[in-house]
Amino acid sequence: MAMPVRSLPVLQNWDCHNCTDCCREYRVTVTPEEQAKITAQGWLQRPEFQNIPLFVREGGRFSRKKRLNHRADGACIFLKPEGGCRIHSEFGSDAKPLACRIFPFVFVPTGDHWRLSLRYACPSAAANQGRALNTHLPDLRGYANALEIQEGIAGRQLLPPMPRGQSMPWEDVLIIGRALRSIVESTRFPLETRLRQLAAMTQLGRKLRFEKITGQRLRELMELLRNELDASIITAPEEVVPPTWIGRLLFRQQLAIYARKDTGTNRGLSRRGRLALLQAAWRFAQGTGTVPPLHGLIPNIRFEEVDQSSTELPEAVHEQFSRFYAVKLESLQCCGPTNFHYTLWDGVDSLLMTFPTIVWLSRCLHQLPIEEQWLQALRMVDDNFGFNPLLGSGRQKWALRTLASWDEIAPLIAWQARRNRPDSPQSALANHTH
């Protein structure tokens, strides 16, 4: 029997508005069973599919994985010129690959049930357009059942994503997730301040032992810690000690990952090969000169211009950003198998590091209207969060642990959020790293 799917208490809406971004931007891997089902639909007998393979190899020369083919303009071969999927329109939703049906939903295994999250890379999800998530539950239950069968996890329960030496039942992990969500949903402080409170909470969480603190006692502890953070947090980001050179260096290296787009119509420098990507990574590490166009939307702009500019989260999109962090925390998408098996506290830190990244990218996208700058930066970041394997590499996990151990995450959040930004320290850093 499939695990039940539980919608989140966060007020989030979504419906497909046929923008076709997902049909152009993503490479959809298909199982052998899905390949056989699509082939049996008879596409190769149609004139418009003559001499066009339905599937191509995904990965290296020796990879056995296959994905749906794309046309020269970047569109999936099953995307109709007027929009919409040929497979869906002729054979129904169930005839499509499971990955196509699930997007933009993310199923997070949490003990005896699935929790729902969303990929805000989808424009409708980022803009909160459509019906409430709970109206999609009938379809989502079917997707969850298919996912369990496809991944071979039916009847299995994963252990909670706790650090080595800490153990906790799922019920208590969910209590912590709800407590963290309540911090970002508070209206007492600006979002930047609330995220710094979360950073302080992760530092405390690593030091505490939870084995004997459970249930109601854990709820009371989390409330006590939150009240303490409310009383002690520095509210003005300008008063927070700025990050050190190591924090800024590791931050810019993360930027190079989140800014990178290797597929779809917005593909960036990867078109020019591996050498161009290596040169771009070095340029980001230096933080001077022209920003490499790792993404097709990155304009001709210098690091110094981005670093010396200022911006503020527009009121019109403030609710969307609070919701983004609330969904990732309540669903626990930020840790475990949906985020490269990060432990709870490391996963929250990885989520927190998306905020300074979004702020920097929003300033970089100065050619767009102010609200679109922020929403596009959010989409760029969540396109990668939990899915770009570079973010789950051993080197990147080391970088995140270093940022946490040096207590650099809260300063990075505050540093990027400053409204009146001082002269950028990048030039001094560039001299230091030569």
Residue 279 belongs to some domain of the structure: yes
- pLDDT (0 to 100) of residue 400: 98
User: Which of 151, 181, 203 lies at the terminal end of a domain, its last residue?
Assistant: 151
Report, as an integer, the average pLDDT of 30-53.
94
- pLDDT (0 to 100) of residue 426: 40
Note whether 180 and 66 are same-domain residues.
no
User: Which of 151, 181, 197 lies at the terminal end of a domain, its last residue?
Assistant: 151
Report, as an integer, the average pLDDT of 71-84.
92
DSSP state of 12: -
- Lookup: tokens for 373: 């700058």
Note whether 349 and 327 are same-domain residues.
yes
Note whether 312 and 383 are same-domain residues.
yes
Note whether 179 and 328 are same-domain residues.
no
Note whether 401 and 288 are same-domain residues.
yes
Note whether 93 and 141 are same-domain residues.
yes
Note whether 194 and 232 are same-domain residues.
yes
Domain count, the chain: 3
Note whether 88 and 212 are same-domain residues.
no
Residue 158 belongs to some domain of the structure: no
Higher per-residue confidence, 29 vs 424: 29
Report, as an integer, the average pLDDT of 51-72.
90
Backbone φ and ψ for 121, nearest 5 degrees, come out as -65, -25
Q: Over the stretch 388-409, which tens digit does the pLDDT of each residue have?
A: 999 999 999 999 999 999 999 9
Residue 160 belongs to some domain of the structure: no
Residue 272 belongs to some domain of the structure: yes
Residue 26 belongs to some domain of the structure: yes
Q: What is the chain's mean pLDDT, rounded?
A: 92
Residue 190 belongs to some domain of the structure: yes
User: Which of 117, 151, 185 lies at the terminal end of a domain, its last residue?
Assistant: 151
Note whether 15 and 122 are same-domain residues.
yes
Tokens 């049906």, located at residue: 101
Q: Is the pLDDT of residue 2 over 80?
A: no
Mean pLDDT is lowest, of 110-114, 132-136, 423-427, for 423-427
- pLDDT (0 to 100) of residue 428: 34
Nearest to 2 by CA among 158, 155, 171: 155
Note whether 94 and 16 are same-domain residues.
yes
Note whether 397 and 269 are same-domain residues.
yes
Report, as an integer, the average pLDDT of 272-293.
96
Note whether 185 and 278 are same-domain residues.
no
pTM, full prediction: 0.93
Q: Over the stretch 293-303, which tens digit does the pLDDT of each residue have?
A: 999 999 999 99
Confidence of residue 419 (pLDDT cuts 50, 70, 90): low
207 vs 163, 169, 348, CA distance in Å?
11, 18, 15
Residue 346 belongs to some domain of the structure: yes
Higher per-residue confidence, 219 vs 420: 219
Residue 163 belongs to some domain of the structure: no
Range of the domain at 190: 170-238
- pLDDT (0 to 100) of residue 427: 35
- pLDDT (0 to 100) of residue 1: 66
Q: Over the stretch 330-360, which tens digit does the pLDDT of each residue have?
A: 999 999 999 999 999 999 999 999 999 999 9
